[in-house]
Structure 1
């Protein structure tokens, strides 16, 4: 379980996050949603240690990531998998080498073990036949699947996905959502997804946190989100539905 308590973050005189608290449970696909500039990506960066908030706690199964000693922080980082928005693949490495990279950097596994683990993860995302291809030779959706394979190669307890469907067509987006949900359920991972995709909200939003101007305005599930009486959330949902209908 991941628990955040009273996360506060400012840049200069601007408050980006104001007292954000919440819990994210194993086996659940939890979404953090909101418009551009609402603080959702900053919150994710606070949770994975790329940004340090002025106040608050980030607890991983009770371990404080922000104030823990170096060994504690390293142990937690080894238990994280991150899918970055652009995929963040190395152009000079093959698909298999990209997936294997965390094992090369963070473990003392034998080469044969690394290869076996990387190949298993590629197979899990349906890309076992793309192992020797370069990132420039595969589609955007395939790059996202490579990113997911790399994110789970260390067998993480916690998975973070930053806008996994950005730049993808609707059908590919649905497949990526299904893959994230399947992996979360199969390995009982605590998964946190940053998104503004309406389909993701309705299909995989077992728990949803809505941010508006740096504050948590609503929390619930996909089955209750349309019943919200929060005006800002309803406007956000309507705008996304209108955009989706226009694209369709």
Structure 2
């Protein structure tokens, strides 16, 4: 479980996050939604330690990540898996080598153990026959799946996905959503997804937090999001639906 309490962040005279609270539960696919510039990615970066908030707490199963000593922070980081927006694969490494990279950096496993674990993760994302291919030789959707395999190779307790559907066609987006949801449920991971995709909200949004200009204006799930009386959220949903229609 992840608890965030009163997270604030200001850049210069611009407040990006204004006292954000939230709880993210194991086995749930939790979404943080909102338009561009609302603070979604900044909040994610605060949660994984890429940005230090001005105030607040980030608790991983009761452990305050922000005030922990360096060794404890490293321990918590090893329990995280991150799928970056652009997949962030190493162009000079094969698919197999990309997935193996965290094992090389953070474990003392034998070559046989690494081989078994990488193959297991590639099978889980249905890329068991793509290990020898380079990132330049695979599609955008396959790159996302490689990114997911790399994110789960260390058996993380916490999974963070930053705009996993960015740049993908609607059908591939649905498949990526389903894969993230299935892995979350299967391994009881605490998953946090940054997205503005309406399909994601309706299909995998077991918990949804809506940010607007750095404030949390609404929280609920896919069953209650269309019943909201929050004007800014309704406008966001309408604009998202309109964009979807235009893309068809």
Query: Residue 236 of structure 1 corresponds to which residue in structure 2?
Result: 236
Query: Residue 7 of structure 1 corresponds to which residue in structure 2?
Result: 7
Give how far 1:72 is off: 1.2
Say which is worse superposed, 38-47 or 67-76, in terms of deviation. Answer: 67-76
SS at match of 1:6: strand
How far does the alpha carbon of each residue in 1:10-67 deviate from its partner, in whole angstroms, 9 at most, with x for none?
0011100000000000000000000000000000000000000010000000000000
**Cα distance in 1 for residues equivalent to 2:247 and 2:14:** 34
**Cα distance in 2 for residues equivalent to 1:247 and 1:52:** 37
**Cα distance in 1 for residues equivalent to 2:56 and 2:202:** 30
Say which is worse superposed, 131-140 or 70-79, in terms of deviation. Answer: 70-79
**Cα distance in 2 for residues equivalent to 1:202 and 1:137:** 32
Query: Residue 40 of structure 1 corresponds to which residue in structure 2?
Result: 40
**Cα distance in 2 for residues equivalent to 1:33 and 1:138:** 29
**Cα distance in 1 for residues equivalent to 2:177 and 2:189:** 15
1:246 maps to 2:228: no
Aligned length: 248
**Cα distance in 1 for residues equivalent to 2:32 and 2:8:** 16
In the alignment, structure 1 segments of 5+ residues that lack a partner are: none
SS at match of 1:21: strand
SS at match of 2:164: coil
TM-score normalised to the size of structure 1? 1.00
For 1:1-248, list aligned pairs within 5 A. 1-248=1-248
**Cα distance in 2 for residues equivalent to 1:86 and 1:64:** 29
SS at match of 1:105: helix
**Cα distance in 1 for residues equivalent to 2:89 and 2:116:** 20
Give how far 1:71 is off: 1.6
In the alignment, structure 2 segments of 5+ residues that lack a partner are: none
Give how far 1:115 is off: 1.1
**Cα distance in 2 for residues equivalent to 1:58 and 1:80:** 13
Give how far 1:109 is off: 0.5
How far does the alpha carbon of each residue in 1:89-111 deviate from its partner, in whole angstroms, 9 at most, with x for none?
00000000000000000000001
SS at match of 1:130: coil
After superposing on structure 2, the runs of 4+ consecutive aligned residues of structure 1 that deviate more than 3 Å are none
Q: Once superposed, what is the RMSD of the aligned Cα atoms?
A: 0.3
Give how far 1:245 is off: 1.0
